Structure 1
Amino acid sequence: MHLLRSRKATRHIPLVLLGGDAESPSFSLGTVDTMDKQVTKNDLVNLITRHGRQSPHAPGMTVLVIDDEASVREYIRECLRGQGYRLLLAANGRDGIQAAIEHDPDLIILDLMMPGLSGFKVVEELKRHPTACDIPVVIFSAKDLTREEVMRLGQEVEKVLTKGTTGRADLLRELRSMELLYPVQARLMDSVLRCYNLRYRQLRLTQECNRAERYGQTFSLVGWQMEAYDAYVKKYGQHWGVAALREIVELVNSVTREGDVLVRSSEASFMLILTGTTQTVAERVAEKLRLRIRIHKFPLAGGEVGNFTASFGCVQFGMGAFTPEDLVAQLNARVAFALKSGGDRCVCGDEGG
């Protein structure tokens, strides 16, 4: 248990003790449940499904900063304070490589001009390592790169930022962009359904609103709530409830474009971010999904099938909502109105708020 909690890859995984006693002080390392060795098959499946779905949200990206200047390390620490990042610091290239291999960070911020082992050498050694080679690297340096140095770095780094001209807001913006490029490493994926989670929704909506205001573009949101999901789980078990949600994800992927973004908003509600799409088009997408869900046969044990209906809403940026918070509030109001007015319908106008 100590080893599991000490490793990045396993520290956030729920632990269920087989035949253990949850009251014992020796089991204080993040245990979330206990299970009798005589557990039935159904109870076992439900327990695993429950903890797979309700496991605590992992923290944001782990960022390793490799820089020989203490003032720069402290500057980056202050920039990232309170932003949800876990920070690792290394004062030279050799220690940085060791930290990258041992801790497997999600992103490396690297200085180029360091005594002993330069940033160029650090990049070369990292890219030769079987696991560290996949860690994205952002250069943060005061050096003006020559053409030869740019060629030397090639495709091995994601971004080059300049010390002295990159402020806190610039650094945070670049890190947020990196998170969107690497959603798995940044814990922006729902681990059960393999779609995006709420944290990704927040980052992406902010990005889409900024882009829409800057370039005069638009986008729309489609949201929906699976109706009577709790009753479905109570009747058939959590395993089959999660199986139905996975079918929903497959249904959505089959009728949307590659660039559309599916987010799990809560246990049984979802949102689609439709870039470059008007509300009229979004309404057609919502109606198509609503009908697909209504006629779909969700598999159950013994060859039986279950059924669902869903309440939908849709909104467009610029039509009464210009911020992520306004868009989500307007969308939630329309979904709630659809539920309150009988369900299995889509509300996209002012009647839903």
Structure 2
Amino acid sequence: MNSGDPAQNDDPVDSSANPSDVPTSKTSPLKPAAKGPKILVVDDDFEIIEAVRYALEGAGYEVVIARDGNQGLALAERENPDLMILDMMMPKRSGFLVLEKLRRLRDVPLPVIMITGNEGSRHKAYAELLGVSDYIRKPFAMDRLIDAVGKLLDA
């Protein structure tokens, strides 16, 4: 007969343990809050990157950054973004070359907003021929970019 003394308890389970302290297979760590659509920003200008990142994250989007065209292509394949914001003039691979390669790699076209400081209408026409979804000239109001992103992702 058990006298109630834990030292004399024949049960191998520690009866003094609080059941809520014992880990179970049903216990899981907290999941991070769900983020919005993923946007890949490809630009070599640090100030543009930071301003665009701040605005997009403030609007609830997840942002991935690439600082040149080659890195942009690699991240487009690895991260599978919902949309790309692409500068036209960059080192290593221009925005046009990135677009050409993207169109060959993907079965489903990735929506792309091209941003550029170039004023030439010939460049805009070529970007449209390559399938850009929107073409925004620098400098631009951040609201203009956020509106374009929202329209493309809601479509």
TM-score by length of 1: 0.35
Q: Does structure 1 retain, via aligned residues, the 8 Å contact 2:85–2:113?
A: yes
Q: Check the 8 A contact 2:85/2:112 in 1, yes or no.
A: yes
1:67-124 CA-to-partner distances (Å, cap 9, x unmatched) read 0111110110122232110000000000000000000000000000112210000000
Change (3 A) 1:81 1:151: closer
User: Is structure 2 residue 116 aligned with structure 1 residue 141?
Assistant: yes
CA deviations over 1:303-325 (Å, ceiling 9, x no partner): xxxxxxxxxxxxxxxxxxxxxxx
Q: Give me the identity figure in percent.
A: 30
Q: State the alpha-carbon separation in 1 of the partners of residues 69 and 118 from structure 2.
A: 17
* Paired letter, 1:171: L
> Could you tell me which residue of structure 1 aligns to residue 4 of structure 2?
none
Amino acid at match of 1:108: M
- 1:73 partner letter: I
Tell me which residue corresponds to 1:335.
none
Compute the displacement of 1:155 (Å).
Answer: 5.0
CA RMSD of aligned residues (A): 2.2
Unaligned 5+ runs, structure 2:
1-23
Give the match for residue 97 of structure 1: 73
- For 2:34 and 2:30, locate their aligned partners in 1 and report how far apart those are by CA, in whole Å: 16
The alignment covers a number of residue pairs equal to 131
Match of 2:5 in 1: none
Residue type matched to 2:54 in 1? E
User: Whole-Å Cα distance in 2 between the matches of residues 170 and 150 of structure 1?
Assistant: 17
Aligned to 1:173: 147
Contact 2:84/2:113 (8 A) holds in 1: yes
Distance 1:143 1:67 in 2: 14
**TM-superposition CA deviations, 1:294-346 (whole Å, max 9, x none):** xxxxxxxxxxxxxxxxxxxxxxxxxxxxxxxxxxxxxxxxxxxxxxxxxxxxx
Aligned residue type for 2:136: L
Counterpart of 1:129 in structure 2 is 105
Contact kept in structure 1, 2:57 and 2:63, CA below 8 Å: no
Correspondence 1:110 to 2:91 = no
Change in CA separation of 1:101 and 1:29 when aligned onto 2, cut-off 3 Å? farther
CA distance in 2 between partners of 1:155 and 1:123 (Å): 7
Relative contact order (C-alpha < 8 Å, sep 6+): which is higher?
2
Q: Return closer, same or farther for 1:144/1:84 CA change in 2, 3 Å cut-off.
A: same
Distance apart, 1:168 and its partner CA: 1.8
| Residue ranges of structure 1 left out of the alignment (5+ in a row) | 1-19, 31-56, 182-353
Offset at 1:177?
A: 1.3
Alpha-carbon distance, 1:130 to partner: 3.1
Task: State the distance in 1 between where 2:124 and 2:150 align.
Answer: 24
CA distance in 2, matches of 1:155, 1:96: 17
Q: Distance in 1 between matches of 2:154 and 2:61?
A: 14
Distance 1:86 1:144, change over 3 A: same
Output the CA distance in 2 between the equivalents of 1:151 and 1:172: 23
Name segments (4+ residues, structure 1) moved above 4 Å: none
Mapped partners of 2:103, 2:30: distance in 1: 35
What TM-score, normalized by structure 2, do the two folds share? 0.75
Q: Distance in 2 between matches of 1:78 and 1:91?
A: 16
Please report how far the alpha carbon of residue 29 of structure 1 lies from its aligned counterpart in structure 2 after TM superposition. Answer: 7.4
Indicate yes or no: 2:39 matched with 1:63.
yes
Kindly indicate whether the alpha-carbon contact (under 8 Å) linking 2:82 and 2:153 is maintained by their aligned counterparts in 1: no
